[in-house]
Amino acid sequence: MAEAHSQTDDLEFLTRAFSGHGVDEASLISILGTSHPDQRRALRKSNPHFFKEDERLFERWDDHSFALLKLEFLRFKNAVVLWAMHPWERDARLLKEALLVGPSYSNIIIEVACTRSSEELLGARMAYHSLFEHSIEEEIAFRMKDSEGMLLVALVSAYRYDGPKYKEDVVKFEAKFLAAAIKSAEGKSLIEDEEVIKILTTRSKLHLEAVHKHYKEISGCSLDEDLISDSILRETVRCLCTPERYFSQILNESLKTDAPENMKKALTRVIVTRADVDIKEIEEEFENLYGVPLLKRIESTSKGNYRDFLLALISKGR
């Protein structure tokens, strides 16, 4: 009876070790590292979630679980590798990955283009030249030949004014213009409206934050709420005008147990890229939105070295 109880405990430990973001390496070492072949076979036979009986009478990994676990083991390594990179190289590689995966990852291009300073974005573009012997603008234009591609080229090409000044009368005019454009569009995309694109791709972030604020005063809703049928423009506005809220929402989605793989990867990306920038502000906004500290949420959903590394990055940014 004692042996059966021990196997049950081991099974529970292993299930927990494999559940969440990352892997509980300590539990794996303590159980699997000291186990005998018969014990490992017993664990395989009693855990059909991870193993299944082959027609040739051996227990083999379930293909889906095998693929997922490989990704979970890689999370810590990927986070460390990204953190060690120069920020310019990191952003260049994130941009390249987004382009290789395809249009569904255009949000990463928007994120890099709209949440970095002008100097940081210029650095990422220079790193892209060195690493891939093409410009990011050239690659986007080649792979995305529609209006979305033109918007993305304009965003990554921007070198926005970073200073504290903007003209209040221009802010009010452009807020009213955007309100009228959205109203007249009647749910249709504004991505081909040249004036809308000019405002979003050339104005300083401080100017656009003021436009965002004045838009809500005259419309009663925020600009990104009114762009609900225009997802790429909505994402652009969120990254430009309310980055802490944008990153908090991305983190919330990425920390869900059933999050798809592209969202789980966002957890690493956001923590690593914002740890030296505005992680404190993101923490405050996350708790304001969801009523729980970001650190506690990560502690409850992540495992092992991966969890500890993320928590260390967040703590250093305080």
Q: Is pLDDT above 80 for 185?
A: yes
> In this structure, what DSSP letter does residue 21 have?
B
Q: What is the pLDDT of residue 244?
A: 98
Q: Is pLDDT above 80 for 125?
A: yes
Q: What is the pLDDT of residue 31?
A: 77
Q: Please give the share of the chain, as a percent, with pLDDT higher than 90.
A: 69
Q: Is pLDDT above 70 for 5?
A: no
Q: Average pLDDT in the 279-292 region?
A: 98
CB 251 within 8 A of CB 275: no
Q: What is the pLDDT of residue 9?
A: 66
Q: What does the block give as tokens for 86?
A: 């120069």
Q: Please give the share of the chain, as a percent, with pLDDT higher than 70.
A: 93
> In this structure, what DSSP letter does residue 203 have?
S
Q: Around 275, how many Cα atoms within 13 Å sit in the side-chain half-sphere?
A: 21
**9-40: b or e for each residue (b if 16 or more CB lie within 10 Å)?**
ebbebbeebbebbbbbbebbeebeeeeeeebe
Q: What does the block give as tokens for 172?
A: 């009010």
Give the chain's radius of gyration (CA, Å): 24
Cα 296–Cα 297–Cα 300 angle in degrees, nearest 5: 85
**144-171: b or e for each residue (b if 16 or more CB lie within 10 Å)?**
beeebbbbbbbbbebebeeeeebeeeeb
CB 314 within 8 A of CB 295: yes
Residue 266 phi/psi, 5° resolution?
Answer: -65, -25
Domains and CATH numbers, the chain: 2-61 (1.10.220), 87-242 (1.10.220.10), 245-316 (1.10.220.10)
Q: Average pLDDT in the 72-98 region?
A: 96
Q: Average pLDDT in the 172-176 region?
A: 98
Closest CA to 94 of 128, 50, 70, 61: 128
Q: What is the pLDDT of residue 40?
A: 81
Q: Average pLDDT in the 262-278 region?
A: 96
Q: Around 292, how many Cα atoms within 13 Å sit in the side-chain half-sphere?
A: 12
